[in-house]
Amino acid sequence: MKSLALLSCLSALLFIAANDAVADKPNVIIIMADDLGYGDVSCYGATELKTPHIDKLAAEGQRFTSGYCSASTCTPTRYSMLTGTYAFRQKGTGIAPPNSPAIIQPGTETIASILQRGGYATAVIGKWHLGLGGASGPDWNGDLKPGPLEIGFDTCFLLPTTNDRVPQVYVHDHRVPNLDPKDPLWVGTKKPSDDHPTGNTHRDTLKMDWSHGHNSTIHNGISRIGFYTGGHAARFRDEDLADKWVEKSIEFIEKNKDNPFFLFFSSHDIHVPRIPHERFQGKTSLGFRGDAIVELDWCVGELMKTLDRLNLAENTLVVFCSDNGPVLDDGYKDDAVEKVGKHRAAGPYSGGKYSVYEGGTRTPFITRWKGHIKPGVSDELVCTIDLAASVAKLAGLKLPESACLDSFDVSAALLGDKGATGRDHLVQQDNGTKGTFGLRVGDWKLHRHDKKSARNVVVETKLANTKVPQYQLFNLAKDEAEKTNVIESNPDVAKRLKAQLSKIIDDGRTRP
């Protein structure tokens, strides 16, 4: 009897200890905006529109003035955030085409797989744009794998590519929902028939005209990159995307409210084509681009309301970030340029999307964990690539030695701990896997342009490539807009940073 009593006591203690361990693990929600610039939200200085929910998130947590993504386009940033490894180390991580196979292969450690092994329920909801399927690409009418479920996510509800590329269907786990077998989905790079409507042949039918590049298959009055036919019962309406992401996210949070969970809320706002829901259209003076920012802000508010309703706010770390900096005309005539007025999407910085100037990778970056993060503003250098190592540390989990090769544990800085420091350096890249880099070390910023041209995006007008020297050096403390190349007057600094950048690239990792 004494033995049975002792076993019962031990079992009870183990049960309590296990529950305490679970209770100590914060839920994690990463909200990643798309093409949102440093100056696009009011808590970062925007005056031509208001983002009250994002502002509240910042007021209740840490707002970072040196928060970065690792690349100035979506696919490489998303790859780096999930894997904790710079995308330039992996071929095929540029902007993914519609029929791209899975870029992150099964067996690759990700923030999701690490948390999943630690007992977390995991989900990605929203834009994916990291490819689906095996080497031959997606089987749109069959099982779409490998995909998120093969790299650590328990469930997903996706926009499979990006919405200016075909097809306009959702993916739930491994399948396209509501797909009619009698109307199979076909996706390709060539026009399927001579009479197939496109943005060129049927331009007068479009509800949003294209300015460059986006002139192939038409859906919902908008022409896209690439071609597709069929799947009509499965197609979505652009205006409903944000509502669907919120709906599915709330379902996931409610289902897992009693257990630790990780949600990657991957918004499509404010990427083109910018078609916010009708209830947001006309809400700003900036056209659909501004209206999409307001829609994004609403999404943040709905997620935070859900945490409050379920009493989860004090046990949930929320990270708000963007996948790259801003662009105005990115292929559609949506009045973003004409109505920009005094708004400066990149804030005080030069460049934007596609660029290694600060405007391309320095973006809004906010952390909130009620009761754990003291509200404030931080100048520490942090990046989305660090979320894997930092979240693992907060969850009490260890990173495998061979994984997350460039992810640093900056969790103390994310929490705003007194005296905590962020990174001491950061490599930024454009879309490709080689040739264009920015290395920030302290106040110094080295540019390396092996192609000797830089896409210094003038976000107030249009995209522009500018001829530049292979190397440029800027002192961000004195020249945050990177206007004055001081490489000739600082040869020792330039030499040191050139060597450091080359070593980072050649070594294959930076995490100790």
Two tokens at 242?
């944000």
Distance, C-alpha 434 to centroid of its chain: 21
Q: pTM surpassing 0.85?
A: yes
Q: Interhelix angle for 241-255 vs 287-309, to 10°? A: 10
**Residues 6 or more apart from 382 whose CB is under 8 A from it?**
64, 66, 67, 68, 365, 410, 413, 414, 422, 423
pLDDT per residue as tens, the chain (512 positions): 444 444 444 443 333 333 334 347 999 999 999 999 999 999 999 999 999 999 999 999 999 999 999 999 999 999 999 999 999 999 999 999 999 999 999 999 999 999 999 999 999 999 999 999 999 999 999 999 999 999 999 999 999 999 999 999 999 999 999 999 999 999 999 999 999 999 999 999 999 999 999 999 999 999 999 999 999 999 999 999 999 999 999 999 999 999 999 999 999 999 999 999 999 999 999 999 999 999 999 999 999 999 999 999 999 999 999 999 999 999 999 999 999 999 999 999 999 999 999 999 999 999 999 999 999 999 999 999 999 999 999 999 999 999 999 999 999 999 999 999 999 999 999 987 667 999 999 999 999 998 877 766 555 566 677 888 999 999 999 999 999 999 999 999 999 999 999 999 999 999 98
Q: Shortest CA distance to 114 belongs to which of 403, 405, 319?
A: 403
| pLDDT at res. 259 | 96
- The Cα 292–Cα 290 span in angstroms is 5
Contact present, 381 and 487 (Cβ < 8 Å): no
Contact present, 414 and 423 (Cβ < 8 Å): no
Q: Are strands 366-368 and 316-322 parallel, antiparallel or unpaired?
A: antiparallel
Two tokens at 435?
């040739």
Give whole-number Cα distances, 487 to 444, 471, 497, in Å: 11, 8, 11
User: CA torsion, points 196, 198, 202, 206, in degrees to nearest 10?
Assistant: 130
- The Cα 158–Cα 138 span in angstroms is 14
Contact present, 43 and 376 (Cβ < 8 Å): no
| pLDDT at res. 212 | 94
Q: Shortest CA distance to 382 belongs to which of 355, 400, 419, 409?
A: 409
Contact present, 435 and 451 (Cβ < 8 Å): yes
Same fold, 25-414 and 426-507: no
- 426-507 topology per CATH: Arylsulfatase, C-terminal domain (3.30.1120)
Contact present, 72 and 324 (Cβ < 8 Å): yes
- 25-414 topology per CATH: Alkaline Phosphatase, subunit A (3.40.720)
User: Which contiguous run of DSSP H or E holds residue 449?
Assistant: strand 444-449
Q: Shortest CA distance to 208 belongs to which of 170, 163, 266?
A: 163
- The Cα 467–Cα 473 span in angstroms is 15
Residue type, 25: K
Burial class of residue 188 (count of CB atoms within 10 Å of its CB; 0-12, 13-18, 19+):
middle
User: CA torsion, points 321, 323, 324, 326, in degrees to nearest 10?
Assistant: -80
Q: Shortest CA distance to 354 belongs to which of 77, 20, 152?
A: 77
User: Which contiguous run of DSSP H or E holds residue 261?
Assistant: strand 261-266
| pLDDT at res. 467 | 87
Domain ranges of the chain: 25-414, 426-507
Burial class of residue 490 (count of CB atoms within 10 Å of its CB; 0-12, 13-18, 19+):
middle
Helix (H, G, I), strand (E, B) or coil at 402: coil
| pLDDT at res. 404 | 98
